[in-house]
C-alpha cells in the first residue's frame, strides 16, 4: 500500500555539512611529515644552487632553500618574489636573466614585498608566481610552501618546467592597448582574488592557474532560463522547456563592457521588483546598489572564504545559506561554483558568473552586481565582512536560476547542495536510524560527503531556542567526526555548525569549555582544531547527537565530481567513490503517468528501468551491496510563480529474477516490491538507501496519483559495478 505525505511551504530546517577541506584533511592542517620531507630537500638544493646561498643587500638574487632571501629591490625600484622555502622571504631582486629567482619563488614563499621591494609592478608579478604554490608572505617574510608539489600530478620537474615555461607570456606579457597583463592573472587576481587583502585558498590558486593556462576547461553551458508550460489540469507539459532568452556568455559580455567602458546591466534579471517578488510588491523601499556604492573597497573574497562567513538576511532561505556555508568547507567544491577568474578590480565591469548543476549538466549563470538594499545595507544573504560580496552575488545568481528571490522561500538544504555539487542527497529519520549509521557516516566523510541535521520545528514558535542551546526548525551542518579517549573510555564526537555563526551553541557535555575536555591532551585538541569561540561551531557526543537531533541528510558526491576535482587540482580522492547511472524520463497523461501501486490497473504503464547489481560491498562480509535510488522531478521551483508546486513522487523496486523485459500488471499483482521509497512526498527528490543481494531488479518511479504530469531524473548510486537501461 502506497502512502502519501505532503509538506506545505517546503522543508527549511535542513542543513548539509562536510568534512574538512584541503589536500591533507580537515581544518587546513599542515601536511603530515611523510608528505613534507621528500620535496623540501630537493627544493632547498635547487633554490640554493641557482637562487643564491647568501643574502644580497641589493636584492639581485633571492635566497635559496633554508637561506634568507635578498632584502629590498634593485635600487628599491624592483622587488622580486624570492625567498627560501624554509627561511624568511626576501626581495629576490629583478634580473630577467636570472631565472633562478623565479624558480625559488615557486616553492618558497611569495616574498611578501621583500622589504620595500615588492611594491612595484614587475616585482609583484614575479612574486605572484611564488604565490601560486608558496604562501603569500607577510610584509617582509615569505609565506612558505602551502603544498608539497610532489603531490601534484606530474611531479616537481613538470611543475617547474610548466610554470617557468609559461611565466614569460602569462605573467610578463602586457597588452599595450589596455595596459593590462595578458591573461588577466597578475595584480590582485593572482595575489588575492578581488582586492589587496583577499586570500585565494591553496587549491584556488592551482585551480585559477589551470583555468588561465587552459589545462582545465569545465563542460558548462550558458544558462538559459527555462519556461516550463503548465497544462490546464495543474501538471506541466513534459517536454524540454522553451528558452525565454538567448544565453549570456560571461567573457563576451565582460569584454564588450570593457571595450565600451560601461558597467554590465543584466537584461534577463533586471534591477526591478519583478526580480524580487512574483506575488506581491516589496514590503519596503528597495534600492539596487553596486558593491562600490555600498563600501569603498568591495572585494569578492576577503581573507579566505570560510563556513563562518555567511549570514542570513530577510529572505526565508536559511536552507540556501546553510548550503553556501557548507560549500566553503572544501575549496575544490567552492571554486566549481564561484569561478576564481573574476574580481572587483582586474577587468571589473560589473558582471559576475556562478555555476550550478541542473538535472545532469552544469550551467553558467551571469548576473550584474546590482544588489537589493535598504538604507544602504544588503537585504538578503551576505558575508560577515561588510566589504565581501561572494555570498550576496551567489544568492542573486541562484535567484535568477529560479526566476526571483521569492522563489527561494521554502526549500531543503539538500536541494541547494545538489545544485551546487551535483551530488545525491539522502534523508534520515534519527528516531528510526539505520543500524550502521555511525559506520555509514564515517565512510561518508572519507568519500567527501556533506552532512546536515535538524530538530523538528515547533509549529507555534519560529526557530524556538531550547535550554540546551539548540534551535528547533533550524538547519545545522555536521562538519566532522572524531573518536577520542574521554574520561570514561572511547567516545565518538560530532563537530556541528550553526550557520548563524554566533553564540547560540550546544551547552551540554563536550560543549565549548566543558569539563570533558580536561581529559583530552593538548596535542589532540590542537589536531582537532579545537577553539572555544562564540562562532556557532561546537562538539557533542554521538549519543547526545542521536538524542537531540531528529533529521539528518547526507549529500553524496558522485565520480564526475571527483574526476573534475582531479582535473582542477591534480589530486585524486584517496577513498572509495560511488558508481552511478542516470536516466531521464517523463510522466505523460494517459501514457506513462500510471500513479503508484494503489492503482494496479495503470501502475505498469509507468516508466520502468532494469538495474543489474553484480558486486557486493568491498569492505563488508555479508555479501550484500549498497544501492541508493533517487527520483527527482524537474523544473517545479520555476513554476512557483504560476501557482504550482512539487507533486508527490516515489518509487518501487522489484526483484525481476530472469525476466528481461517490462514487468506486467500480472507480475505486480503477484509480487511485492523488494525495495520502495518510504512514502510519496511532494519534495523535489525522493531517495532510498538499501542493502540487498546482487541481482536483476526493476525500478518503477511514479507520482502518487495517475495522470499527474512531470519530468523526472532517476539516479542510481552503488559501491560496485552497475548496469541499467530503460525497458
Are 541 and 603 within one domain? no
Are 249 and 321 within one domain? yes
Note whether 447 and 579 are within 8 A (CB): no
Q: Of 79-88, 408-417, 620-629, 661-670, give the lowest mean pLDDT range.
A: 79-88
Nearest CA-CA partner of 416 in 7, 12, 8: 12
Distance (Å, whole) CA 268 – CA 286 = 19
Considering the domain boundaries, does residue 216 fall inside one? no
> Is residue 668 classed exposed, middle or buried when 0-12, 13-18 and 19+ CB atoms within 10 A define those classes?
middle
Considering the domain boundaries, does residue 208 fall inside one? no
**One of 474, 555, 596, 719 is an active-site residue; which one?**
474
Last residue of a domain, one of 410, 438, 469: 410
Note whether 264 and 349 are within 8 A (CB): yes
> Does the active-site annotation cover 707?
no
Q: pLDDT band at 227, cuts 50/70/90?
A: low
* 357 vs 239 pLDDT, higher one: 357
Are 261 and 389 within one domain? yes
Considering the domain boundaries, does residue 415 fall inside one? no
Considering the domain boundaries, does residue 165 fall inside one? yes
Nearest CA-CA partner of 388 in 131, 205, 209, 199: 199
CA 201 from centre of chain = 14
Last residue of a domain, one of 377, 410, 443: 410
Considering the domain boundaries, does residue 206 fall inside one? no
> Does the active-site annotation cover 318?
yes
* 76 vs 570 pLDDT, higher one: 570
**One of 60, 198, 498, 719 is an active-site residue; which one?**
498
Considering the domain boundaries, does residue 562 fall inside one? no
Where do the DSSP E strands lie in 3-98? 4-5
Are 443 and 534 within one domain? yes
CA 100 from centre of chain = 38
Are 549 and 493 within one domain? yes
Are 338 and 402 within one domain? yes
Q: Tell me which residue range forms the domain holding 669.
A: 578-726
> What is the secondary structure of 327-384 as a DSSP string?
HTT-HHHHHHHS-SS--SSTT--SEEEEEEEETTEEEEEEEES-EEEETTEE-S-EES
- The pLDDT assigned to 187 comes to 24
* Paired strand residues for 613: 695, 722
Query: Rounded to the nearest 5°, which phi and psi values hold at 537?
Result: -105, 135
Domain CATH number, residue 472: 3.90.70.10
Domain CATH number, residue 697: 2.60.120.380
Are 404 and 427 within one domain? no
* Helix 99-107 × helix 155-171 angle, to 10°: 120
* Paired strand residues for 696: 612
Are 483 and 535 within one domain? yes
pLDDT, one tens digit per residue, over 491-507 is 899 898 876 655 677 88
Considering the domain boundaries, does residue 212 fall inside one? no
Write out 457-495 in H/E/C secondary structure: CECCECCCECCCCCECCCCEEEEEEEEEEECCEEEEEEE
Are 64 and 128 within one domain? yes
Note whether 93 and 70 are within 8 A (CB): yes
**One of 2, 318, 555, 625 is an active-site residue; which one?**
318
pTM for this entry:
0.66
Number of domain units in the chain: 4
Within 13 Å of residue 188, how many CA atoms lie on the same side as its CB? 21
Considering the domain boundaries, does residue 203 fall inside one? no
Are 320 and 280 within one domain? yes
- The pLDDT assigned to 463 comes to 58
Are 706 and 644 within one domain? yes
> Does the active-site annotation cover 498?
yes
Q: Cβ–Cβ contacts within 10 Å for residue 723, how many?
A: 11
Q: Cβ–Cβ contacts within 10 Å for residue 360, how many?
A: 14
Note whether 293 and 311 are within 8 A (CB): no
pLDDT, one tens digit per residue, over 683-704 is 889 999 999 999 999 999 999 9
Are 392 and 451 within one domain? no
* 498 vs 36 pLDDT, higher one: 498
Amino acid at each position: 500500500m502506497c502512502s502519501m505525505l505532503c509538506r506545505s511551504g517546503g522543508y527549511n530546517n535542513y542543513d548539509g555539512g562536510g568534512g574538512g577541506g584541503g589536500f591533507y584533511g580537515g581544518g587546513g592542517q599542515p601536511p603530515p611529515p611523510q608528505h613534507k620531507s621528500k620535496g623540501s630537500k630537493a627544493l632547498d638544493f635547487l633554490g640554493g644552487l641557482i637562487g643564491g646561498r647568501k643574502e644580497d643587500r641589493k636584492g639581485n638574487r633571492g635566497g635559496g632553500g633554508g637561506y634568507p632571501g635578498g632584502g629590498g629591490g634593485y635600487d628599491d625600484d624592483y622587488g622580486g618574489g624570492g625567498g627560501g622555502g624554509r627561511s624568511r622571504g626576501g626581495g629576490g631582486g629583478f634580473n630577467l636573466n636570472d631565472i633562478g629567482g623565479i624558480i625559488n619563488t615557486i616553492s618558497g614563499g611569495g616574498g611578501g614585498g621583500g622589504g620595500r621591494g615588492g611594491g612595484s609592478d614587475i616585482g609583484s608579478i614575479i612574486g605572484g608566481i611564488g604565490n601560486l604554490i608558496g604562501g603569500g608572505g607577510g610584509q617582509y617574510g615569505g609565506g612558505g610552501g602551502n603544498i608539497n608539489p610532489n603531490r601534484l600530478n606530474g611531479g616537481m620537474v613538470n611543475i617547474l618546467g610548466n610554470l617557468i615555461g609559461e611565466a614569460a607570456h602569462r605573467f610578463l606579457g602586457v597588452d599595450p592597448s589596455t595596459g593590462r597583463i595578458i591573461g588577466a592573472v597578475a595584480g590582485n587576481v593572482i595575489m588575492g582574488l578581488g582586492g589587496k587583502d583577499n586570500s585565494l585558498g591553496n587549491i584556488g590558486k592551482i585551480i585559477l592557474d589551470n583555468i588561465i593556462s587552459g589545462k582545465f576547461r569545465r563542460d558548462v553551458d550558458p544558462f538559459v532560463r527555462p519556461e516550463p508550460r503548465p497544462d490546464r489540469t495543474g501538471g506541466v507539459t513534459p517536454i524540454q522547456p522553451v528558452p525565454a532568452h538567448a544565453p549570456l556568455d560571461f567573457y563576451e559580455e565582460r569584454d564588450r563592457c570593457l571595450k565600451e567602458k560601461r558597467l554590465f546591466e543584466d537584461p534577463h534579471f533586471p534591477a526591478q521588483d519583478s526580480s524580487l517578488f512574483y506575488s506581491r510588491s516589496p514590503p519596503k523601499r528597495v534600492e539596487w546598489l553596486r558593491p562600490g556604492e555600498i563600501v569603498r573597497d568591495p572585494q569578492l573574497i576577503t581573507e579566505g572564504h570560510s563556513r563562518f562567513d555567511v549570514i542570513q538576511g530577510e529572505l526565508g532561505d536559511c536552507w540556501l545559506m546553510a548550503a553556501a556555508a557548507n560549500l566553503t568547507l572544501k575549496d575544490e567544491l567552492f571554486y566549481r561554483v564561484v569561478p576564481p577568474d573574476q574580481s572587483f578590480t582586474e577587468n571589473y565591469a560589473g558582471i559576475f558568473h556562478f555555476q550550478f548543476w541542473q538535472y545532469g549538466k552544469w550551467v553558467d549563470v551571469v548576473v550584474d552586481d546590482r544588489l537589493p538594499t535598504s538604507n544602504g545595507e544588503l537585504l538578503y544573504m551576505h558575508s560577515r565582512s561588510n566589504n565581501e560580496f561572494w555570498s550576496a552575488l551567489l544568492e542573486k545568481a541562484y535567484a535568477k536560476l529560479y526566476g526571483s528571490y521569492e522563489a527561494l522561500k521554502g526549500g531543503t538544504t539538500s536541494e541547494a547542495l545538489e545544485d551546487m555539487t551535483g551530488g545525491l542527497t539522502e534523508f534520515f529519520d534519527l528516531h528510526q536510524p539505520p543500524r550502521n549509521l555511525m559506520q555509514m557516516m564515517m565512510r561518508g566523510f572519507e568519500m567527501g560527503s556533506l552532512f546536515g541535521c535538524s530538530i523538528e520545528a515547533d509549529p507555534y514558535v519560529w526557530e524556538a531556542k531550547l535550554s540546551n542551546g539548540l534551535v528547533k526548525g533550524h538547519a545545522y551542518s555536521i562538519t566532522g567526526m572524531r573518536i577520542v579517549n574521554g574520561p570514561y573510555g572511547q567516545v565518538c564526537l560530532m563537530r556541528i555548525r550553526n550557520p548563524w555563526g554566533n553564540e547560540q551553541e550546544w551547552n551540554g557535555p563536550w560543549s565549548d569549555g566543558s569539563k570533558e575536555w580536561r581529559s583530552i591532551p593538548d596535542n589532540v585538541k590542537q589536531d582537532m582544531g579545537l577553539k572555544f569561540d562564540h562562532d556557532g561551531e561546537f562538539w557533542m557526543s554521538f549519543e547526545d547527537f542521536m538524542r537531540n537531533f531528529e533529521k539528518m541528510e547526507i549529500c553524496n558526491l558522485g565520480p564526475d565530481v571527483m574526476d573534475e576535482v582531479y582535473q582542477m587540482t591534480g589530486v585524486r580522492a584517496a577513498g572509495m567513490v560511488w558508481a552511478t547511472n542516470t536516466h531521464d524520463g517523463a510522466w505523460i497523461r494517459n501514457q506513462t503517468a500510471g500513479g503508484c501501486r494503489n492503482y494496479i490497473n495503470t501502475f505498469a504503464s509507468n516508466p520502468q528501468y532494469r538495474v543489474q547489481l553484480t558486486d557486493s560491498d568491498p569492505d563488508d562480509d555479508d555479501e550484500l551491496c549498497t544501492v541508493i535510488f533517487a527520483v527527482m522531478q524537474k523544473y517545479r521551483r520555476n513554476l512557483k510563480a504560476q501557482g504550482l508546486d512539487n507533486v508527490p513522487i516515489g518509487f518501487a523496486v522489484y526483484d525481476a529474477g530472469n525476466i528481461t523485459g517490462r514487468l506486467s500488471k500480472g507480475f505486480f499483482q503477484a509480487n511485492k516490491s523488494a525495495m520502495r521509497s518510504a512514502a510519496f512526498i511532494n519534495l523535489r527528490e525522493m531517495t532510498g538507501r538499501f542493502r540487498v543481494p546482487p541481482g536483476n531488479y526493476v525500478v518503477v518511479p511514479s507520482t502518487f496519483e495517475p495522470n499527474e504530469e512531470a519530468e523526472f531524473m532517476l539516479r542510481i548510486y552503488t559501491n560496485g559495478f552497475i548496469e541499467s537501461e530503460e525497458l
